[in-house]
Amino acid sequence: MCDFAADAEAAASLMVGRTLSVERVRQLNAKDYFYQMLKDNPEMLKIYPGIENELLQGAIDCHIHAYPDFVHRSQDMIGIAMEAARAGMRALAFKDHWNISCNAAYLAQRHIDYLVEKGELQHRVEIYGGAGTCHGMNPEYIRVALQYPNFKMIWFPTFTSLGFWRGAGHPEKGGVRLVAENGEVLPQVVEIMKMAVEKKVGIGFGHTDFKELLPLANKAKELGVRATLDHPLLELNKLLLDEMKQLADLGVYVGTYCQPMIPSLYQPVADPMETIRTIQAIGPERCIIGSDFGQVLHMDAIDGMRVFIRALLGYGIKPEQIKVMLKDNPAKLMWLDEK
């Protein structure tokens, strides 16, 4: 005879991702989850639209996607920047996985400045871009890109990286390599990291795995690079808490973004509370808040940031902690603290 209790217990312990179990999915999807959530977090009853307004003043979103892009985005840079200016934000940094975004950022800045001069906007938001490296780690490409104005970020490979495909279970697809088999960071990557320090720009470590991230973090500490983990809580490049702690201890910022705290059609099965646990375990001084929004199936970027801040407040993250993650740390990442 079958042992149904044992079978059910075994099924509940099955893992959906690196950290999410079937049992946890069942809990999150329970019909009384909302009421239990309110019972466990009575502070949520104090949350209201607009509670985030003060925290948005002077905020920096260091990771946004805008139209045009290789996949459609819901808003262009100017539209997002106007909303950010009205919210009183300090700065935005727009990411392109494949190309430079600083040229479009410069033009968007010109338009915002024009609107401020005309009196149609009361606040000037700073607009930055950078360079994506999905085509490969080419130091000459970065050297040229760094000559453009409004350049503040270098994003390492995402959907083309070896670590991404290895983490997805398809190492046979190859991809852009950042670290040699012996664990040494490749010379062209080191050269790009040195340029980032010289020109005072930040680095997003892209979609790669811990096998590459650990040597990258050690090299970053050695060279004085300011770097962050790009959405390490998404299954795209999921990291365990102990892995994030190791990298944070080496000086790398841990990126905490709207996903997976805000439910998404792009990754509908996730544990929103993992973001809270990560911030509490790592500490706000080593975490960064960003939206990583702009996708057509998400709410717009600034709206996403608003809901994200409310969610953090509702689950016990203090306003002064949010300030550190949303204002101070992104400024340090992009060297804006030295402006």
* Residue range 200-236, pLDDT digits in tens: 999 999 999 999 999 999 999 999 999 999 999 998 8
Residue 4 has a pLDDT of 55
| Bigger pLDDT: 2 vs 202 | 202
Asked whether residue 1 carries a pLDDT value surpassing 50, the answer given is no
- CA 271 from chain centre, in angstroms, equals 17
Contacts of 115 (CB under 8 A, 6+ apart): 82, 85, 121
The mean per-residue pLDDT over the stretch 263-269 comes to 87
CB distance 278 to 289 below 8 Å:
no
> Cα dihedral sign for 171, 175, 176, 181?
positive
Q: Are strands 91-94 and 253-257 parallel, antiparallel or unpaired?
A: unpaired
Contacts of 316 (CB under 8 A, 6+ apart): 41, 43, 276
CB distance 151 to 128 below 8 Å:
yes
Residue 16 has a pLDDT of 85
How long, in residues, is the chain? 339
Q: SS3 of 27, please?
A: helix
* Residue range 52-70, pLDDT digits in tens: 999 999 999 999 999 999 8
The whole model's pTM is what? 0.94
| Bigger pLDDT: 267 vs 49 | 49
Per-domain residue ranges for the chain?
Answer: 56-338
Residue 280 has a pLDDT of 97
From CA 308, how far away is CA 48, in angstroms rounded?
12
Asked whether residue 109 carries a pLDDT value surpassing 50, the answer given is yes
* Residue range 13-55, pLDDT digits in tens: 798 889 999 999 999 999 998 888 888 888 889 999 999 999 9
Asked whether residue 196 carries a pLDDT value surpassing 50, the answer given is yes
Query: What is the fold of 56-338?
Result: TIM Barrel (3.20.20)
> Cα dihedral sign for 147, 151, 157, 160?
negative
Calculate the CA dihedral of residues 144, 147, 153, 159 and round it to 10 degrees.
-20
The mean per-residue pLDDT over the stretch 281-285 comes to 98
Q: Cα separations (Å) of 33 from 26, 39, 44, 222, 270? A: 10, 10, 14, 46, 15
Residue 34 has a pLDDT of 87
